[in-house]
DNA sequence: GCGTCTTCCTGTAAGC
DNA sequence: TGCTTACAGGAAGACG
């Protein structure tokens, strides 16, 4: 599932393929993907004749900078973009097709139909949902450790849940939260309020290391993630705990354990990440 | 205000 | 073999 490193990989590869291309028309096969404007017909009309100037990333969101608009796209679990010749057969689960004036298409596929798109006027995107409450991601230069520490320490929630909250820290999903907590040596059920400033610094540093490494490897491939050129990510070969349940820990040989935390599969090493008191 | 639960979806794997 | 069921999960909205 695309988290920050996967979205960043997609951004980099997609940029080479679509910058400077002008949208001739749009086909929306599953209107629920389009969250804004309400009417997908209006979405198509607004985006027509717009040229893609840049592609940015905020947390796990892809931002397509157009002339007058910004297309804010979230891939959720299985969303993917691909660039294809217009005459090529359309694959199953393709829900939105952007037809370019040069007879190529940008196609959005999403088996589970969880992905979202918001088309917003340029310059307003940071003041509206879904980006409004989004925190900085730990790779951003202006990520504030102080703000992050404050939010964690005032929360009664467990740290697994807190790190999945995009208004506290952006970019982490289920895979990288488990990996981050392993590196930091923190049990996923530890309450935010009980963590020391030093432990929170450790978590932030572990998140940076995990994410940087995963970006270098082109992301993690669990089941279905491929970047926009169809290559698979390599980071899954370096996973310490995620999907490693019942295997020995690389560090101590203890058995990686899987539990459910707030409905999410959660993996940890009982020795490296001791249970909170 | 805060925390938890439910909902949206469908392919895959397990169980019978 | 074929059917049913559980499971995977990001984020918004409902609810206590």
Tens-place pLDDT, residues A11-28:
988 999 999 999 999 999
The whole-angstrom separation of Cα A239 and Cα A61 is 23
Q: Name the pTM for this structure.
A: 0.91
Indicate the DSSP class of residue A198.
H
pLDDT tens, position by position, A98-132:
999 999 999 999 888 889 999 999 999 988 888 98
> Which of A98, A92, A90 is closest to A110 using CA atoms?
A92
Average pLDDT for chain A: 88
Which nt is closest to the CA of A154, judged by C1'?
B2
| Of A140-144, A149-153, A163-167, A259-263, the least confident | A259-263
* Main-chain phi, psi angles of A181, to 5 degrees: -65, -35
Nucleotides of B under 7 A from a protein CB: 2-6, 8-12
**Could you give the domains of chain A?**
4-127 (3.20.190.10), 145-268 (1.10.8.50)
CA distance A206 to A180: 5
Q: Six-digit token pair at A166?
A: 């995009």
pLDDT tier for residue A262 given thresholds of 50, 70 and 90: confident
Nucleic strand C interface residues, CB < 7 Å: A 1, 3, 59-60, 74, 76-77, 112, 114, 129-130, 133, 164, 166, 173-175, 260, 263-265
The whole-number pLDDT of residue A4 equals 84
Residues around strand B, C-beta < 7 Å: A 32, 92-93, 111-114, 154-158, 161, 223, 262-263
CA→C1' distance for A48 and C7 (Å): 40
pLDDT (tens digit per residue) in A53-79:
999 999 999 999 999 999 999 998 888
């Amino acid at each position: 599932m695309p988290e920050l490193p996967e979205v960043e990989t997609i951004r980099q590869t997609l940029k080479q393929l679509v910058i400077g291309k002008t949208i001739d028309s749009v086909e929306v096969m599953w209107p629920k993907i389009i969250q804004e404007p309400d009417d997908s017909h209006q979405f198509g009309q607004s985006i027509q004749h717009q040229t893609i100037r840049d592609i940015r990333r905020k947390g796990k969101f892809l931002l397509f900078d157009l002339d007058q608009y910004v297309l804010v796209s979230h891939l959720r679990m299985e969303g993917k973009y691909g660039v294809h010749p217009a005459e090529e057969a359309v694959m199953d689960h393709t829900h939105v097709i952007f037809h370019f004036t040069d007879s190529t298409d940008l196609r959005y596929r999403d088996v589970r139909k969880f992905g979202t798109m918001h088309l917003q006027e340029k310059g307003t995107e940071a003041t509206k949902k879904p980006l409004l409450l989004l925190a900085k991601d730990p790779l951003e230069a202006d990520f504030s450790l102080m703000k992050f520490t404050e939010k964690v320490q005032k929360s009664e929630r467990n740290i697994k849940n807190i790190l999945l909250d995009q208004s506290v820290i952006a970019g982490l999903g289920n895979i990288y939260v488990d990996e981050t907590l392993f590196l930091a040596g923190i049990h996923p059920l530890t309450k935010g309020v009980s963590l020391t400033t030093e432990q929170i610094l450790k978590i932030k540093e572990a998140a940076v290391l995990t994410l940087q490494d995963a970006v270098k490897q082109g992301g993690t491939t669990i089941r279905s993630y491929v970047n926009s050129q169809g290559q698979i990510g390599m980071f899954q070969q370096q996973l310490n705990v995620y999907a490693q349940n019942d295997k020995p820990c690389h560090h101590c040989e203890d058995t990686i354990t899987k539990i459910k935390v707030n409905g999410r599969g959660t993996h940890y090493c009982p020795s490296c990440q001791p249970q909170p008191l």
